[in-house]
Amino acid sequence: MAQTLLMPKATAVWLVDNTALSFEQIAQFCKLHPLEVKAIADGEAAQGIKGLDPIATGQLSRDEISRAEGDVNHKLKLSEPKVRVPDSKRRGPRYTPVSKRQDRPNAILWLVRNHPELKDAQISRLVGTTKTTIEQIRDRSHWNSANLAPMDPVTLGLCSQIDLDLEVEKASKGRPLPTAAELGATLQATTATENLGLYGQEEEKEIDANAVFAKLKSLKSTRTDDEDDQY
């Protein structure tokens, strides 16, 4: 792992104040320009920065500083760190706990069905799987295809809703908007539904009126018959 100096400007302030090193030596060690180091020495730069002792932080030894003070051409070297920090690994597929790995095929099936716009790499990042497994589930050649049931990966705890929304948003960029025919495939125009409603109401009113008139006529004829019987 490449070593880097902690707080270069604060270290330069300390070296200017506490050593007899040349501006060039300090500039080379702190990755600064010699004129910037000179400005620090003149009080024109880094006025509010507190010096950082590189000896206390283990980045320089006293012997190294003394050697550089005695030889203007000597270049300061960072001390070997006492603790080695491993290099950060390249980010790969999301790690899936062992207890949840059995639910991963169900989550893949859910993503394939509900979000066909997602690429295999995106599904792999969300649930931590391989491209081969995704293809097998997609074409139903997975060994357990008969028993798989689509399940939301967020509900299963395999990914967060935020991660899923971000991946879906990325996959949706550049996709063509739905056409008018697609939008109207399942919906009827407002005027059509309104006309149907009015027509139905008028027909219903007409039927009710006829029934009322028929009932009135029957009552009238009945009443006339009763009066004839009395006479």
Q: Is 46 helix (H, G, I), strand (E, B) or coil?
A: coil
200's CB contacts (< 8 A; 6+ apart) are: none
The helix/strand/coil state of 48 is coil
pLDDT of residue 46: 78
The Cα–Cα gap between 31 and 28 comes to 5
CA distance 142 to 124: 16
Output DSSP code: residue 202: H
pLDDT over 50 at 1, yes or no: no
Q: Tell me: pLDDT of 8 over 80.
A: yes
**Cα(201)–Cα(19) distance, integer angstroms:** 100
Which pLDDT score, from 0 to 100, does residue 101 have? 72
Structure tokens belonging to residue 48? 């509010």
- From residue 181, alpha-carbon distances to 92, 158, 187 in Å are 42, 37, 10
Place of tokens 């139905």: 200
Look up residue 146 and give its DSSP letter.
G
Give mean pLDDT, residues 5-32: 91
Torsion of CA 31, 36, 37, 40, to 10 degrees: -130
Instruction: List pLDDT tens digits, range 185-201.
Output: 555 555 555 555 544 45
DSSP string, 8-40: HHHHHHHHHHH----HHHHHHHHT--HHHHHHH
Residue in the block written with tokens 């060994």: 143
pLDDT tens track for 34-87: 999 999 999 888 778 888 999 988 889 999 999 999 998 999 988 886 655 555
Position 200 scores a pLDDT of 47
Please give the Cα distance from 204 to 116 (Å, whole number): 48
211: enclosing H helix or E strand: helix 190-230
- Half-sphere exposure of residue 90: CA atoms within 13 angstroms, side-chain side: 1
- 21, amino acid identity: L
CB 115 within 8 A of CB 156: no
Count of CB atoms within 10 A of residue 172's CB? 11
The distance from CA 160 to its chain's CA centroid, rounded to whole angstroms, is 8
